[in-house]
């Protein structure tokens, strides 16, 4: 039986790189369920992840038909690891402060296994004291952060804020699963 993980996709242009990550993980034999925020759908469609995983992509917090206890509870109990890529400043702020207003942020609160986040944002956002405070809190809470890297950003400048490459995120995921 395949090991089960969840890939959360929040709303950033780097979501296109998450498709390569998901494809790689599925080809490696992992069972992958994708959960997308509403904003993520502005950058990449659920059909992409459905094709790559062979599974329905979840976007709504209330899906009583397939998940009578709620997907945030049932998915949290079924998966061994939760990875969010890209992790936007907004998503990280929600996680750092225990706020939940959609399926992905609610799932984060109910998930008890290892959590990996791959931050991605504009370098000016990355450098804000509030973002750095949230990162400190996430590290203290045991979240495994991968990146961000320095490079060309969608705002047409170079700086820190580029999401880590899918291979680096995959290595972190596999390393954590190995130690479980």
pLDDT tens profile 165-178: 999 999 999 999 99
Contact 59, 47 (CB under 8 A): no
Confidence (pLDDT) at 63: 61
Confidence (pLDDT) at 76: 85
Q: Which two tokens stand for residue 26?
A: 């599925």
DSSP 8-class letter at 58:
B
Q: What average pLDDT does the chain have?
A: 91
Give 154-164 pLDDT, tens digit per residue.
767 887 778 99
Q: Which helix (H) or strand (E) holds 171?
A: helix 166-179
Residue 57, Cβ density class (10 Å: 0-12 exposed, 13-18 middle, ≥19 buried): buried
Name the nearest CA neighbour of 12 among 51, 38, 35. Answer: 38
Give 103-113 pLDDT, tens digit per residue.
999 999 999 99
CATH number of 73's domain: 3.40.50.1950
Confidence (pLDDT) at 150: 76
Rounded average pLDDT over 36-64: 90
Q: What residues are annotated to the active site?
A: 155
Task: Measure Cα distances from 177 to 55, 79, 109, 115, 164 in Å.
Answer: 21, 11, 20, 11, 19
Has residue 50 got a pLDDT over 90? yes
Cα–Cα distance measured from residue 35 to residue 71, given in angstroms and rounded to the nearest whole number:
10
Name the nearest CA neighbour of 34 among 17, 14, 62, 54. Answer: 54
Has residue 70 got a pLDDT over 70? no
User: Percent of the chain beyond pLDDT 90?
Assistant: 74
Has residue 71 got a pLDDT over 70? no
Whole-structure pTM value: 0.92
What is the count of structural domains for the chain?
A: 1
Give 18-38 pLDDT, tens digit per residue.
999 999 999 999 999 999 999
**Cis bond upstream, residue 148 (ω within 30):** yes
Task: Provide the CB-side half-sphere exposure for 44 (13 A, CA).
Answer: 27
The domain in which residue 9 lies consists of 4-179
Give 90-132 pLDDT, tens digit per residue.
999 999 999 999 999 999 999 999 999 999 999 888 999 999 9
Has residue 59 got a pLDDT over 80? yes
For 37-154, list the strands marked E by DSSP.
81-87, 115-119, 144-145, 149-152
Cα–Cα distance measured from residue 40 to residue 104, given in angstroms and rounded to the nearest whole number:
11
């Amino acid at each position: 039986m395949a090991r089960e993980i969840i890939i959360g996709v929040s709303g950033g242009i780097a979501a296109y790189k998450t498709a390569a990550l998901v494809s790689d993980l599925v080809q490696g034999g992992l069972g992958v369920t994708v959960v997308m925020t509403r904003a993520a759908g502005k950058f990449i469609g659920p059909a992409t992840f459905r094709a790559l995983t062979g599974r329905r992509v979840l976007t709504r917090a209330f899906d009583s038909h397939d998940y009578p206890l709620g997907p945030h509870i049932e998915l949290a109990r079924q998966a061994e690891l939760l990875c969010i890529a890209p992790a936007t400043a907004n998503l990280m702020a929600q996680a750092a402060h225990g706020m939940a207003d959609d399926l992905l942020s609610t799932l984060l609160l109910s998930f008890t296994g290892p959590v990996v986040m791959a931050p991605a944002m504009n370098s000016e956002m990355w450098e804000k004291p509030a973002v750095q405070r949230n990162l400190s809190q996430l590290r203290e809470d045991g979240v495994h952060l991968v990146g961000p890297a320095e490079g060309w950003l969608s705002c047409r400048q170079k700086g820190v804020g580029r999401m880590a490459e899918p291979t680096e995120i995959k290595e972190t995921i596999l390393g954590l699963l190995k130690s479980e």
